[in-house]
Amino acid sequence: MGMTITEKILAAHADKEKVEPGEIIEARIDLALANDITAPLSLEEFDKVGAKEVFDKEKVVFVLDHFTPNKDILSAENCKKIREFSKKYRITHFYEGGQCGIEHALLPEQGLVVPGDVVIGADSHTCTYGALGAFSTGMGSTDITYGMVTGRVWLKVPESIKFICTGKWPKWVTGKDLILHIIGMIGVDGALYAAMEFEGEAISALSMDSRFTIANMAIEAGGKNGIFKADEKTIAYMEGRSKRHSKIYESDPDANYREVYTIDVGTLGPKVACPSLPSNVKGAEELKEIAIDQVVIGSCTNGRMEDLEAAAEILKGQKVAPYVRCIIIPATPTIYGEAMKRGYFETFLDAGCIISPPTCGPCLGGHMGVLAKGERAIATTNRNFIGRMGHPESEVYLAGPAVAAASAIKGRIACPEEVV
Amino acid sequence: MKVRGKTWKFGDNIDTDIIIPARYLAHTDPKVLGEHCMEPIAPLFPKQVQKGDIIIGGLNFGCGSSREHAPIAIAALGISLVIAKSFARIFYRNAFNKGLALLEADLTGLVEEGEEIEVDLSSGIITCKKAEVTAKPIPAFMVELVNEGGLINYLKKKLED
């Protein structure tokens, strides 16, 4: 029996010829990540164990992206602790201020993850880097402390589920629509503990930005990781980003899968996940009666260049509806600068949008766009749980950037074709 | 070890934003986190819950974010155990790392809210009014980890050696 990409990467990092689903292994890690919410707990544990140093100062990453620019005194104190730790242990990859972006957009952009890596992060959306052909998964602060100190992690080798994606992408249908469709189909625990592997002609045709979006939401189906084989697009994306050795793994033809799904993307339209689960998915055209108060275009799911490009194309020469706030959050300083150069900022400002600095902010109801009781948002983020963006009686609808931008113009959930 | 406690029933997919909303995540003090546990759907829960009480969940308990604040908040209220039909992967690891006991069993249709049940943590035998149920065994590796005193104690010993 052959192995999947996930099994091959894990075997290599556990110095084994072969691993099987269900097996417990101790793997070497290439990177351990934490942010301003999860790092403080990791550092408390670091002190408790009496560690004297991190296993490799090049391989521990802190990104202060959640409650920053600091939303209150407590958040500022947390960031201060992480900053002091990073200075003391000379952590190479410490990101804050004008270098800081949303972690899962920032790390690939900065070349910190390469194909074939094992990455653990104290953030559930760490699964994003699977788009590069790396094994990456989220875990808690304590597991990250163990990784920071030992350079290792214990893992149960996951079973794999394959999604073969065929067909041609209709206009305005992107990675977000596909992953929402998949979560709607298999449910929020449909891939519980499993690796979600994506392949097929429709995946080859897909941009890296859309692949990041898909891998990012593997956790929303309960997945341990999402993974793509690195191809020419991955290699082109990686060019000039990292000097580290990378390795491209491919699943064997006789690898074992728990389930195999085939999806023709040509049959998909723009999708929206209704409150309060990412699996509550409907076609955008069924929801045109739903009025909205706020639009958020950003996050680790959809705050990349392709997303801003789609939003700009739709918002060009248009106006955000009265009484609607449309918040645009470029995910990293590089994306921010590029969007500015391309003239998107002018488009957004003319339309009446707010342009936020890179932050996770409103996605988790932290700051920069918290909802009041009874308010409703459509967002390009990843979770629409009860109270996710603010008051427990507020609501979040999840969509791709094109639907979100069209909705901003109409003041209700709208399809891109209605405004372009 | 046996625990006995009053049950609090929650449904399927109890996510980490319900267990502890993100707006409280700048706090690391367990007491403060406990005060806001389950706030979006059961705001009185932290005040009414008593030491030793047991949470009963459905499918995919603890889905969502990696925040360790979730098991910390539950444990801070003195909850002795969470029994759910299934657990989300990250929450499962975090609970073990934070010393919150978990068992996998489907009690949602068997137990009434507020009913007292008895649980033998080592055998996984759950005794409720209607039936006796055996929980799915905890993976051997996790038992070993618990016997070592948890991941952090294991690491501490490793560093001292």
CATH number for the domain that contains residue A72? 3.30.499.10
pLDDT band at B147 (very low <50, low <70, confident <90, very high): confident
Contact A167, A202 (CB under 8 A): yes
Amino acid at A253: P
Sign of the CA dihedral with A353 first, then A357, A358, and A361 last: negative
Decide if B23 and A75 are in contact by the 8 Å CB cutoff: no
DSSP annotation of A194 reads -
Amino acid at A415: C
Q: How far is A46 from chain B (nearest CA, A)?
A: 9
Burial A39-55 (b: 16+ CB within 10 A, else e): bbbbbebbeebebeebb
Mean pLDDT of B109-114: 96
Residues in chain B closer than 8 A to A51 (CB atoms): 155, 159
Decide if A383 and B40 are in contact by the 8 Å CB cutoff: no
For residue A166, the Cα-to-chain-centroid distance in whole angstroms is: 23
- Helix then strand count (H, E) for chain B reads 7, 7
User: A205 and A319: one domain?
Assistant: no
**How many CB pairs (< 8 A) connect A and B?**
137
ipTM: 0.97
Decide if B17 and A75 are in contact by the 8 Å CB cutoff: no
pLDDT digits (tens, 9 = 90+) for B1-56: 899 999 999 999 999 999 999 999 999 999 999 999 999 999 999 999 999 999 99
For residue A138, the Cα-to-chain-centroid distance in whole angstroms is: 11
- Cis, bond preceding A69 (omega within 30 deg of 0): yes
Decide if A366 and B94 are in contact by the 8 Å CB cutoff: no
From the list B66, B97, B160, which residue is nearest A38 (CB)? Answer: B66
Span B2-160 CATH architecture: Alpha-Beta Barrel (3.20)
Angle between helices B89-97 and B140-147 (to 10 degrees): 20
Q: Which of A263, A289, A318 is the last residue of a domain?
A: A263
Burial A142-165 (b: 16+ CB within 10 A, else e): bbbbbbbbbbbbbbbbbbbbbbbb
Residues in chain B closer than 8 A to A366 (CB atoms): 22-23, 25
The tokens for A208 are: 């890296």
Q: What is the pLDDT of residue A223?
A: 98
Average pLDDT, chain B: 96
Dihedral, A231, A237, A242, A248 alpha carbons, nearest 10: -10
Contact A331, A358 (CB under 8 A): yes
The tokens for B21 are: 């909303």
pLDDT of B145 > 90? The answer is no
Closest residue in B to A123 (Cα–Cα): B66
Rounded CA gap, A64 and A36, in Å? 5
User: A254 and A294: one domain?
Assistant: no
Mean pLDDT, each 10-residue run in order, chain A (420 residues): 97 98 97 98 96 97 98 98 98 98 98 98 98 98 98 98 98 97 98 98 98 98 98 98 97 98 98 98 98 98 98 98 98 98 98 98 98 98 98 98 98 97
Write the burial class of residue A239 (CB in 10 Å: 0-12 exposed, 13-18 middle, 19+ buried). Answer: exposed
Q: How far is B60 from chain A (nearest CA, A)?
A: 6
Residues in chain A closer than 8 A to B62 (CB atoms): none
pLDDT digits (tens, 9 = 90+) for A390-417: 999 999 999 999 999 999 999 999 999 9
User: A178 and A55: one domain?
Assistant: yes
Mean pLDDT of B82-103: 96
The tokens for B49 are: 């819950």
Structural domain count of chain A: 2
User: A222 and A313: one domain?
Assistant: no
Rounded CA gap, A195 and B137, in Å? 23
User: A60 and A171: one domain?
Assistant: yes
User: A187 and A40: one domain?
Assistant: yes
Rounded CA gap, A377 and A217, in Å? 19
Q: Which of A240, A263, A286 is the last residue of a domain?
A: A263
Amino acid at B46: P
Match 């308990």 to its residue by tokens. B61
User: A259 and A276: one domain?
Assistant: no
Specify the pairing of strand A195-199 against strand A93-95. unpaired
Residues in chain A closer than 8 A to B97 (CB atoms): 140, 142-143
Decide if B41 and A386 are in contact by the 8 Å CB cutoff: yes
DSSP annotation of A375 reads -
Contact A395, A382 (CB under 8 A): no
Rounded CA gap, A129 and A249, in Å? 14
Q: What is the pLDDT of residue A88?
A: 98
From the list B22, B93, B151, which residue is nearest A364 (CB)? Answer: B22
Rounded CA gap, A36 and A21, in Å? 33
The tokens for A238 are: 């990686």
From the list A140, A150, A192, which residue is nearest B66 (CB)? Answer: A140
Closest residue in A to B154 (Cα–Cα): A49
Decide if B17 and A385 are in contact by the 8 Å CB cutoff: yes
Contacts of A368 by beta carbon, 8 Å cutoff, 6+ apart: A71, A327, A329, A356, A359, A361, A362
Decide if B18 and A386 are in contact by the 8 Å CB cutoff: yes
pLDDT band at B161 (very low <50, low <70, confident <90, very high): confident
pLDDT band at B144 (very low <50, low <70, confident <90, very high): confident
Domain ranges of chain B: 2-160
Q: Which of A258, A245, A242, A168 is nearest to A205 (CA)?
A: A168
Residue B134 C-beta-side C-alpha neighbours within 13 Å: 4
Q: What is the pLDDT of residue A47?
A: 96
User: A107 and A170: one domain?
Assistant: yes
Q: What are phi and psi of A319, to 5 degrees?
A: -125, 140
Residues in chain B closer than 8 A to A189 (CB atoms): 13, 59-60, 63, 86, 88
Q: What is the pLDDT of residue A280?
A: 98
Decide if A383 and B97 are in contact by the 8 Å CB cutoff: no
| Strand partners for B136 | B104
Quick check: helix, strand or coil at residue A119?
strand
Residues in chain B closer than 8 A to A154 (CB atoms): 141
Residues in chain A closer than 8 A to B64 (CB atoms): 124, 383, 385
User: A53 and A79: one domain?
Assistant: yes
Best of A45, A71, A385, A393 to mutate (most B CBs within 10 Å, chain B) = A385
Rounded CA gap, A5 and A116, in Å? 9
Q: Which of A263, A293, A314 is the last residue of a domain?
A: A263
Contact A71, A367 (CB under 8 A): yes
Rounded CA gap, B30 and B28, in Å? 6
Q: How far is A243 from chain B (nearest CA, A)?
A: 30
Q: Which domain holds residue A13?
A: 5-263
Q: What is the pLDDT of residue A24?
A: 96
Q: Which of A140, A156, A265 is nearest to A200 (CA)?
A: A265
Quick check: helix, strand or coil at residue B80?
coil
Q: What is the pLDDT of residue B141?
A: 87
